[in-house]
Chain A
Amino acid sequence: MSRHVVSFTVNGVPKRVELEARRTLADMLREDCGLTGTHLGCEHGVCGACTVLVDGEPVRSCLMFGVQAEGCAIRTIEGLAAPDGTLNVLQRAFRTHHGLQCGFCTPGFLMLATWLLERDERLDEAALRHAVSSNLCRCTGYQTILDAIRAAAQELDRWEDSAAGEARR
């Protein structure tokens, strides 16, 4: 199997990795970059536990090859907290609202929510529910994940109390 050299950044840090063309982005992050915070729940693109941001967009890292990351800016869960480990607003909200139990799916939900909170448009209930249904969680029943992301959006002044959103609640 041919090997390729790929250059990209992860959480702002430049990386240069040599790997097989068939290695997934998820495996590259976990095994070649040592970033084990990205978890593999299904390896066929359904569960979303491996969601990372590639050039600002959420991506199932099990469905993208490492070589496709050439020149990309990748963000993972390891980049969310401050260097001293202080949790960011979203992470704190997950803790306060009990948005995690076993924590295995959590990296995917955090990266998905990071994308939601950084988009140009403000987040409303409909968009929140639509986006969060992308990923699977087996422990929480989702309500507390929705609560956490909503609370983080409110704290960051990214929340839209739209009538459309209210109607769906």
Chain B
Amino acid sequence: MNWVGRAIERFEDPALLRGEGRFTADVAIGARVVRFLRSPVAAGRITRLAPPPEMPAGALFVTAADMPEVGAIRPMLHRFSYRAVEQPVLPRDRVHFVGQPVAAIVAASAELAEDLVELATLEIADETAVADFDDALAPGAPTVHAVAPGNVVVEGFVRQEGVDAALAGAHHVETFAFRSRRQNATPLEGRGGCAGYDRATGRVRLTASTQMPHMLRTGIAELLGMPEADLQVVAPDVGGGFGQKMSLFPEYAVLVWLARRHRRDFAWIEDRNENLIASAHSRDQRHVVRAAFDAAGRILALEADILANVGAFSCYPTTCAVEPLMAFAEYPGPYKVPLYGARARGVLTHTCPMAPYRGVSRPVITFGMERLMDRAAAALGLDAAEIRRRNLVDNFPYRTATGMTLDDATYVEAMEEAVRLADIPAFRARQAAARAEGRLLGLGLSVFNERTGYGTPAFAARSMGIVPGYEVVDIAMTPQGEVEARIGASPHGQGTRTTLAQVIADRLGLAPDQVRIVHGDTDRTPYGWGTFASRNAVISGGACQAAADKLAERLKRAAAVVLQTTAEQVMLRDGHAVGPHDASIAISALAQQVHQRSDLFGEYNLAESASYDPPGTFSNACHLAVVEVDAETGGVAILRYLVVEDAGRILNPMIADGQVRGGIAQGIANALYEEIVHAPDGNILTGTLADYIPPTSAEIPAIEIHHLETISEATATGAKGLGEGGSIGAPAAVANAISDALAHLGVDIAEIPATPPRIRALIRAAEAKARA
């Protein structure tokens, strides 16, 4: 029986559905409550910092002065003119963004701690803040950090010979300048941690809502100058992450410092305002992308100028280069681009630091490429599918202009299938009929690839100081025959306990419910990187498969002794080790014998370890959106949304579809709704969920998903990752559909989110232009 490929129900669900999940805030009850006094201004010098005049017994007020031995967060990148910006755990003299933690206040209850935060004194001599990259790059702009004069913290530059000539001599040059506004990943559970001190061992157990428990442990131990072995990090149930929970945040270091100093338990559970203003932001970018086309509509050269507002500091471990350099390396996407030039700059500002968020820059570059293709198609008199057909990579493996290898995929096939399913001629007729009635319908395509499951080589190419990549799995069989697999990755909603059990079950002839996946605890799992970058199915899956295969060999050797045959003759199936002539032994009985009668076997246990570190692969998809735009209000309704995607072998179709749908919902939010807005002085105007507006079920349509299944040799399981694709493809599909709906007015979407006021402004401007 094959378990891989089946939509089995998740092992994670029953506890979550009974309210018996264990999230960080649940663990924190009873601990002393930590709240942070945060900077109310974006830039300035701290002139006075003092505790409330009266502190209740047991209350604490902790500032940088109390922790002189604690270091600064200083992730490294050894290329691209990177400036090593340092983020203090708590600032000694200056603040750099609104919401930056300045002091920690501890009390017996949350209510009391919040009272004390109100009563503490923080005086700051304001300095001029730069919130936007235009301000930060202006001549004479204030310098955010002295280490980065001019505020450029990282810069990538490449320009292949011939780009200039191609642009100069092209039949058509299409230029698209656009802006992507700042987003917050907004997991429903915010950040939080509980540091418990064990007086018997002197160790601290930090329970934290994190995607990277091992990395968090390494980072905190380094900051505090403590033995890493004295710190255990546990990621319990984690209420979504989407990249935001990858980073080492100063608050966690304060918790562990408090636990060690005061030998007690301390917890911080952030509120929504803290999450919105002071966790991590993303996607605050402006690009100018330009392509040279020949008369047949084929791209001859592509150039991109990429600006990313990376905020005030650099996130650990990925660094703040992650957005600009992702755009830099992957701009051509699924298209044949013979010549490429790009300049990508990360710009420091007095705003909340940027960190990865689902798709990292690829929602932005896909928006850029796909809007560019539609604009070029219009200029060249081609339809949207035809110009893509002429440019999509269709011969694999394909080496890109930036040196990446695109493995087998279905860029053209996925688009053709989407176009066929949507029946575009019929849509055009409906669109014309609707327009005659004054209704504005539009259809948009978005074709993209998604680099997934990349291991050490891909990260090493970025010259990161800390190079993530591999995953290790320790697997063991109990004497009763159940399997425990301990993984370094750390899921937060992906159903990994289920999908990896399916992978292992198939290799051992067991059922998935006989497999326990252990994750999210540095004491119980091998060192690993975590769950991010659409890597879990590929990398943890590959490591689980390899570990299970090694365990299977052990079982076969032992079975050969019992069945008096050779290991090569033994098969594992349906819970049994089966030899010639159907002689068999239950795997559970075999496991018991190996453990308890090792005298018969010469083996002492059933434990193995394996790692996997693949070069990476590319999944792909075509998204197609049909929208209706209300010209009076600027509102957009999505009438149809379909996806044809190819993520190779699907481990569990139910879970895979869930990733696609959830990603698209976030991508639609990116296209239409969500925006962190700053005042010019760097204050945030969107600090609640009434101002920063994630969509509800009223805004997100039913999504039709169609699968293609290209089994790539680039991964051990045949699976390609798909966790980010939904959010990568959706902004472009929706924006192209809106632009299609408004094309007759001369309106073109070049800024997301395309909110009703922005769409109204575009329509008004177009109408004024038409009158003039």
A residues 33-75 touching B (CB-CB < 8 Å): 34-44, 46-47, 49
A residues 68-98 touching B (CB-CB < 8 Å): 76-78, 80-81, 85, 87, 91, 94-96, 98
Question: Hey, which chain B residues are within 8 Å of A114, CB to CB?
Answer: none
Known: A103-B21, A133-B698. 6 other contacts (CB 8 A): A23-B111, A78-B18, A102-B189, A102-B238, A133-B697, A139-B493
B residues 1-51 touching A (CB-CB < 8 Å): 9-10, 12-14, 16-21, 23, 25-26, 29
Using an 8 Å CB-CB cutoff, how does the interface string of B723-737 with A read, 1 for contact, 0 for none?
000100000000000
Using an 8 Å CB-CB cutoff, how does the interface string of A138-149 with B read, 1 for contact, 0 for none?
111111111000
Give the CA-CA distance A40 to B19 in the complex, in Å. 13
Choose the segment among B147-155, B519-527, B687-695 that binds chain A (4+ C-beta atoms closer than 8 Å). Answer: B687-695
The yes or no answer to B513 lying at the interface (CB within 8 A) is no
Question: Hey, which chain A residues are within 8 Å of B661, CB to CB?
Answer: 140-141, 143-144
Q: Can you list 5 A-B contacts with CB-CB less than 8 angstroms, sorted by A residue number? A: A46-B688, A85-B18, A87-B14, A102-B493, A136-B689
Q: Given A44-B690, A102-B187 in contact, is the A141-B703 Cβ separation under 8 Å?
A: yes
Out of B658, B689, B697, B698, name the residue touching A42 (CB < 8 Å): B689
The yes or no answer to B696 lying at the interface (CB within 8 A) is yes
Choose the segment among B437-445, B595-603, B662-670 that binds chain A (4+ C-beta atoms closer than 8 Å). Answer: B662-670
Are A100 and B14 interface neighbours, CB within 8 A?
Answer: no
Are B493 and A136 interface neighbours, CB within 8 A?
Answer: no
Q: Given A30-B29, A95-B17 in contact, is the A136-B696 Cβ separation under 8 Å?
A: yes
Give the CA-CA distance A140 to B26 in the complex, in Å. 23
The yes or no answer to A121 lying at the interface (CB within 8 A) is no
The yes or no answer to A1 lying at the interface (CB within 8 A) is yes
Are B20 and A37 interface neighbours, CB within 8 A?
Answer: yes
Expressed in whole angstroms, the minimum distance between the Cβ of B697 and any Cβ of chain A is 4
Question: Hey, which chain B residues are within 8 Å of A129, CB to CB?
Answer: 697-698
Give the CA-CA distance A95 to B238 in the complex, in Å. 18
Give the CA-CA distance A105 to B662 in the complex, in Å. 14
Are B18 and A80 interface neighbours, CB within 8 A?
Answer: yes
Q: Given A20-B111, A106-B17, A133-B698 in contact, is the A144-B690 Cβ separation under 8 Å?
A: no
Give the CA-CA distance A144 to B657 in the complex, in Å. 10
Are A136 and B188 interface neighbours, CB within 8 A?
Answer: yes
Are B25 and A36 interface neighbours, CB within 8 A?
Answer: yes
Are A35 and B697 interface neighbours, CB within 8 A?
Answer: no
The yes or no answer to B761 lying at the interface (CB within 8 A) is no
Expressed in whole angstroms, the minimum distance between the Cβ of A77 and any Cβ of chain B is 3
The yes or no answer to A120 lying at the interface (CB within 8 A) is no
Question: Hey, which chain B residues are within 8 Å of A102, CB to CB?
Answer: 187-189, 237-240, 492-493
The yes or no answer to A9 lying at the interface (CB within 8 A) is no
Q: A residues bordering B, Cβ < 8 Å? A: 1, 20, 22-23, 27, 30-31, 34-44, 46-47, 49, 76-78, 80-81, 85, 87, 91, 94-96, 98, 100-107, 110, 129-130, 132-146, 169
Are B189 and A39 interface neighbours, CB within 8 A?
Answer: yes
Question: Hey, which chain B residues are within 8 Å of A78, CB to CB?
Answer: 18-20
Give the CA-CA distance A105 to B661 in the complex, in Å. 16
Are A140 and B658 interface neighbours, CB within 8 A?
Answer: yes
Are A142 and B700 interface neighbours, CB within 8 A?
Answer: yes
Are A98 and B697 interface neighbours, CB within 8 A?
Answer: no
Taking CB as reference atom, which chain B residue is nearest A130? B698
Question: Hey, which chain B residues are within 8 Å of A46, CB to CB?
Answer: 688-690
Q: Given A101-B662, A129-B697 in contact, is the A35-B25 Cβ separation under 8 Å?
A: no
Q: Given A22-B111, A138-B188 in contact, is the A42-B272 Cβ separation under 8 Å?
A: yes
Q: B residues bordering A, Cβ < 8 Å? A: 9-10, 12-14, 16-21, 23, 25-26, 29, 110-111, 186-189, 237-240, 242, 271-272, 492-495, 654-655, 657-658, 661-662, 664-666, 688-690, 694, 696-698, 700, 702-703, 726
Out of B26, B658, B697, name the residue touching A101 (CB < 8 Å): B658
Question: Hey, which chain A residues are within 8 Å of B494, CB to CB?
Answer: 101
Out of B16, B186, B654, name the residue touching A103 (CB < 8 Å): B16
Are A146 and B697 interface neighbours, CB within 8 A?
Answer: yes
Give the CA-CA distance A106 to B15 in the complex, in Å. 11
Are A139 and B240 interface neighbours, CB within 8 A?
Answer: yes
Taking CB as reference atom, which chain A residue is nearest B657? A98
Are A98 and B188 interface neighbours, CB within 8 A?
Answer: no
Expressed in whole angstroms, the minimum distance between the Cβ of A95 and any Cβ of chain B is 4
Count chain A CB atoms within 10 A of each CB in B242, B495, B655, B662 and give the residue with the most: B662
Give the CA-CA distance A74 to B583 in the complex, in Å. 60
Question: Hey, which chain B residues are within 8 Å of A136, CB to CB?
Answer: 188, 689, 694, 696
Expressed in whole angstroms, the minimum distance between the Cβ of A131 and any Cβ of chain B is 9
Count chain B CB atoms within 10 A of each CB in A1, A39, A85 and give the residue with the most: A39
Taking CB as reference atom, which chain A residue is nearest B664? A141
Expressed in whole angstroms, the minimum distance between the Cβ of A169 and any Cβ of chain B is 8
Taking CB as reference atom, which chain B residue is nearest A82? B18
Taking CB as reference atom, which chain A residue is nearest B21? A103
Question: Hey, which chain B residues are within 8 Å of A40, CB to CB?
Answer: 25
Taking CB as reference atom, which chain B residue is nearest A85? B18
Are A103 and B662 interface neighbours, CB within 8 A?
Answer: no
Are B187 and A44 interface neighbours, CB within 8 A?
Answer: no
Question: Hey, which chain A residues are within 8 Å of B655, CB to CB?
Answer: 98
Give the CA-CA distance A144 to B493 in the complex, in Å. 15
Are B700 and A96 interface neighbours, CB within 8 A?
Answer: no
Are B272 and A43 interface neighbours, CB within 8 A?
Answer: yes
Are A95 and B239 interface neighbours, CB within 8 A?
Answer: no
Question: Hey, which chain B residues are within 8 Å of A105, CB to CB?
Answer: 188, 239
Taking CB as reference atom, which chain B residue is nearest A40? B25
Q: Given A36-B29, A129-B698 in contact, is the A47-B188 Cβ separation under 8 Å?
A: yes
Expressed in whole angstroms, the minimum distance between the Cβ of B10 and any Cβ of chain A is 7
Give the CA-CA distance A107 to B26 in the complex, in Å. 14
Give the CA-CA distance A120 to B724 in the complex, in Å. 42
Q: Given A22-B111, A143-B702 in contact, is the A95-B13 Cβ separation under 8 Å?
A: yes
Are B9 and A91 interface neighbours, CB within 8 A?
Answer: no
Q: Given A31-B29, A36-B26, A103-B493 in contact, is the A81-B689 Cβ separation under 8 Å?
A: no
Taking CB as reference atom, which chain A residue is nearest B240? A102
Give the CA-CA distance A50 to B690 in the complex, in Å. 16
Are A140 and B662 interface neighbours, CB within 8 A?
Answer: yes
Are A94 and B17 interface neighbours, CB within 8 A?
Answer: yes
Are A143 and B700 interface neighbours, CB within 8 A?
Answer: yes
Question: Hey, which chain A residues are within 8 Å of B242, CB to CB?
Answer: 138
Give the CA-CA distance A30 to B17 in the complex, in Å. 17
Question: Hey, which chain B residues are within 8 Å of A145, CB to CB?
Answer: 697
Give the CA-CA distance A91 to B18 in the complex, in Å. 8
Expressed in whole angstroms, the minimum distance between the Cβ of A92 and any Cβ of chain B is 8
Are A98 and B111 interface neighbours, CB within 8 A?
Answer: no
Give the CA-CA distance A36 to B238 in the complex, in Å. 14
Give the CA-CA distance A155 to B682 in the complex, in Å. 53
Are A98 and B654 interface neighbours, CB within 8 A?
Answer: yes
